[in-house]
Structure 1
Amino acid sequence: MTDPAIRGRELSRSFGLLALLGALLVVAGLVGLVYTGVATLTSMILFGWLLLIGGLVGLLHAIQSRGTNYFWLGVVVAALNIAAGVVVIRHPHGTAEALTMFAALLFLTGGVFRLVGSVVVRGPQFGWTLLQGAFGLLLGLLVLFDWPHSSLYVLGLFFSLALLFDGLGLIAIGVGGRRIVSLVSDQQTVNEELPDKP
Structure 2
Amino acid sequence: MTTELTNSQAEIVEVRKHELAHLAREWWCFLLTGIFLVIGGIASIAFPWFTSIGVVMFLGVILVISGIATVITAFWVGKWGAFMMQILIGLLYMVAGFVITDAPIASLALMTLMLAGFLVIGGGFRIVTALVEKYPQWGWSLFNGVVTLMLGLIIFRSFRQLPEEPSGVLWIIGLMIGIELLFNGLNWIMLSLAIKKLPNLADTQA
Structural mapping, 1:59-138, within 5 Å: 59-138=71-150
Cα offset for 1:158? Answer: 1.3
2:79 is the alignment partner of 1:56: no
Superimposed CA distance per residue, residues 7-26 of structure 1 (whole angstroms, 9 cap, x where no aligned partner): x9986675423422321221
| Whole-angstrom CA distance in 2 between matches of 1:129 and 1:9 | 39
| Whole-angstrom CA distance in 2 between matches of 1:12 and 1:121 | 44
Equivalent of residue 155 in structure 1, options 173, 195, 200 = 173
2:181 is the alignment partner of 1:169: no
Cα 1:134–1:79 change in 2 (3 A) is same
Residue 55 of structure 2 corresponds to which residue in structure 1? 43
Cα 1:76–1:123 change in 2 (3 A) is same
Is the 1:143–1:150 Cα contact (8 Å) retained in structure 2? no
Superimposed CA distance per residue, residues 68-119 of structure 1 (whole angstroms, 9 cap, x where no aligned partner): 3222222222222222222222221111111111111111122222222332
Which segments of 5 or more consecutive residues in structure 2 lack a partner in the other structure? 1-19
Cα 1:118–1:65 change in 2 (3 A) is same
Equivalent of residue 139 in structure 1, options 151, 165, 177 = 151
| Whole-angstrom CA distance in 2 between matches of 1:164 and 1:136 | 20
Cα offset for 1:172? Answer: 3.4
| Whole-angstrom CA distance in 2 between matches of 1:115 and 1:142 | 17
Partner amino acid for 1:94? A
Residue 27 of structure 1 corresponds to which residue in structure 2? 39
Q: What is the CA RMSD across the aligned residues, in angstroms?
A: 2.9
Partner amino acid for 2:156? L
| Whole-angstrom CA distance in 1 between matches of 2:71 and 2:26 | 36
Cα 1:143–1:65 change in 2 (3 A) is same
Is the 1:96–1:151 Cα contact (8 Å) retained in structure 2? no
State the TM-score, normalized to the length of structure 1: 0.75
Cα offset for 1:178? Answer: 4.1
| Whole-angstrom CA distance in 2 between matches of 1:113 and 1:138 | 13
Instruction: Name whichever of 55-64 and 45-54 sits farther off.
Output: 55-64
How many positions carry a matched residue from both structures? 181
| Whole-angstrom CA distance in 1 between matches of 2:145 and 2:129 | 9
Matched-pair identity in %? 25
Is the 1:43–1:159 Cα contact (8 Å) retained in structure 2? no
Which segments of 5 or more consecutive residues in structure 1 lack a partner in the other structure? 1-7, 192-198
